Amino acid sequence: MTVLQTLDWLVIAGYFAIVLGLAWWVMKKQQKTSTDYFLAGRHLGWFVVGASIFASNIGSEHLVGLAGSGATDGVAMAHYELHAWCLLILGWVMVPFYMRSKVFTMPEFLERRFNPRARTVLSAISLVAYVLTKIAVGVFAGGVVFSVLLPEMNFMGMDSFWIGSILVIVITGLYTVVGGMTAVAYTEALQTIILIIGSALVTFFGLEALGGWGELKSIVGSEMFNLWKPLVPNGVEGTWAPVKEVGRMAWYFNDNYPWIGMLFAAPIIGLWYWTTDQYIVQRTLSAPNETEARRGSIAASFFKLLPVFIFIIPGIISYALAVSGKIPALQSQLIGADGKIIRDNAQQAFPLMVAYVLPVGVRGMVVAGLLAALMSSLAGVFNACSTLFTIDFYQKLRPNVSQEKLVWVGRVATVVMVIIGLMWLPVIRGGKGLYDYLQGIQAYLAPPIFVVFFAGVFHKRLNAKGALAALYTGFALGLIRLAIDTPVKLVKGFSYSEGSLLWIINNIFFQYYGLLIFIVSLIVMVVVSYMSEVPDYAKISGLTFGTRTDEQKKTTRESWSAIDVIASGIVLALILIAYIYFSG
């Protein structure tokens, strides 16, 4: 079957013409200074900031991974999407400190709060995290989409997966390298509109093919629509067991999302991602003032409520269409001989819906939305990586270098990150699912970063030695887990001896391991700080709640109005309604 028809290709071509035209318009504008290239001259308005945040976030891991998670585990992963409240924390709590400091990067903020070494350590951790997660996952998802939509493609011995991966990364890298943050932000604003409309159409036509919402619930059952998963999956008796049977403990369920992990561990990743990650926060740094940055964060929180309905629900719909046999192509791809979903194939759920449920023409627009999401998330991380490397490493080594040279180095850094991301693809292909992979990596790397930012802002007594100790300790614990996990995912048939220490560590549920890293990092930071000297409060003026001046407090208060409060309250109310509905 030829999935894409002539009309579909015309629609896709039209979309790319608009994106490239927009990128060309940006390229013609002056990009001479590092502020222009990395932060769009700090001139982005609140809507562009909010849309850019959303488009950067809603990338490959959602269209491919989150929909696949919906097909296998229902709305369990909606907890992560209902983290829209984290964007309110960004706007109301963290933005005043970031905008006041006039920094380019999050590591640069840590340098202001602690010392230069803290900046270097966080920059290194962030670059490692981006390569292992966002770049590699984005490239991988591009390959998955192409393998479904153009399964017969073959070139120089490469199948459609590898061709798609390379094409997505080359096209995205091209306009990112040329246009910088301005090109990224404006194309993301456009892509947000395409993405929302296209994904909503998948939900609409999917429900139409299935027979409506009631039919969906009757086929998949109520458990698929319950956010709160049990500590012990169905069929597993007992909640605790001796260490040698740790695989049966509530500590280990990789195919389940127990409510304790979602309630206590998931918010750590959420707050790290939405409030301290360069990839996201760079958009707010591109706003001219606190007001626009905060309103951009609030706008993004509204957008963030949509993925539950335009990604997770389509994943559940694809499972219902497959298991019910209403669309044989989905059944053959997703359902095994035992009648259960094939987890390794679940990440194809969304592109399969696009291929077999949508009418001609509409399919082309949604494919454009798919590619928009893949490209926007990659473009954002490319720019974030080049900013981190150029500002936090190269400029420190060459402080007198020209602005034009900084821009050139940023472009070269982007190309290097792309190559490294391609090299990591085999590890992801061996994983248990794209979204599982992404959340697992983030759970191992995020906790110490979250600790040093939030503890550093809320408690002025904590010092550089405590921050560095927390970063070193937490990062080491995360790398240990990654080193133990990687052979299991990379080498087919490899496993540790059951009951051994390495087996136990490998089988601890990733959220619980992340929670352990968080607790250890926080204790280390507090203990080391109180065992060493008191920081110079004059040097960190305005960088913690305890060191703000009256003038700084006044400026922040004057930056928001009643409309900002009301809009934030509406977001919180919508989140509460969603939790109530999906808790039955």
d(CA 527, CA 462): 9
Q: Is 532 left (phi over 0), alpha (psi -120 to 50) or beta?
A: beta
Q: CB count, 10 Å around CB of 491? A: 10
Could you write out the DSSP letters of every residue in 254-281? TT--BHHIIIIIHHHHHHHHHHH-HHHH
d(CA 93, CA 84): 14
CA-closest candidate to residue 160, choices 403, 351, 408, 376: 351
What pLDDT, in 10s, does the model give residues 337-366?
A: 887 888 778 878 888 888 888 888 888 887
**pLDDT > 90 fraction of the chain, expressed in percent and rounded:** 26
In this prediction, residue 327 carries a pLDDT of 87
Domain ranges of the chain: 6-581
The SS3 call for residue 154 is: strand
439 and 269 in contact (C-beta within 8 Å)? yes
Does the domain at 6-581 match CATH 1.20.1730.10? Answer given as yes
**207 falls in which pLDDT band (50, 70, 90)?**
very high
Point out the least confidently predicted range of 138-142, 230-234, 269-273, 564-568: 230-234
CA-closest candidate to residue 297, choices 133, 442, 93: 93
Q: Which residues of 452-465 are buried (b: 16+ CB within 10 A; e: fewer)?
A: bbbbbbeebebbbb
In this prediction, residue 388 carries a pLDDT of 80
**3: CB partners within 8 A, 6+ apart:** 148, 149, 150, 151, 355, 363
Q: Report which DSSP code applies to 543.
A: S
**244 falls in which pLDDT band (50, 70, 90)?**
very low
Instruction: Give the CA distances from residue 170 to residues 379, 392, 537, in Å, rounded to whole numbers and listed in that order.
Output: 11, 25, 47
358 and 350 in contact (C-beta within 8 Å)? no
438 and 61 in contact (C-beta within 8 Å)? yes
Q: Which amino acid is at 336?
A: G
d(CA 278, CA 395): 17
| Higher pLDDT pick, 482 / 27 | 482
Q: Which residues of 467-490 are buried (b: 16+ CB within 10 A; e: fewer)?
A: bbbbbebbbebbeebbebbeebbe
* Residue recorded with tokens 């010092």: 463
Point out the least confidently predicted range of 95-99, 256-260, 533-537: 256-260
**255 falls in which pLDDT band (50, 70, 90)?**
very low
Mean pLDDT of 391-396: 82
Structure tokens at 100: 């006041």
- First and final C-alpha spacing in the chain: 41
Could you write out the DSSP letters of every residue in 299-324? HHHHHHTSHIIIIIHHHHHHHHHHHH
| Higher pLDDT pick, 378 / 250 | 378
Mean pLDDT of 249-262: 58
Strand partners, 155: 158
> Is the full-model pTM beyond 0.85?
no
In this prediction, residue 251 carries a pLDDT of 44
Alpha helices in 211-261 (DSSP H): 213-220, 259-260
Mean pLDDT of 519-531: 98
In this prediction, residue 153 carries a pLDDT of 66
Structure tokens at 551: 């003038």
115 and 452 in contact (C-beta within 8 Å)? no
Mean pLDDT of 157-175: 69
Structure tokens at 251: 């500590």
What pLDDT, in 10s, does the model give residues 113-122?
A: 999 999 888 8
Alpha helices in 424-509 (DSSP H): 425-429, 434-458, 464-490, 501-507
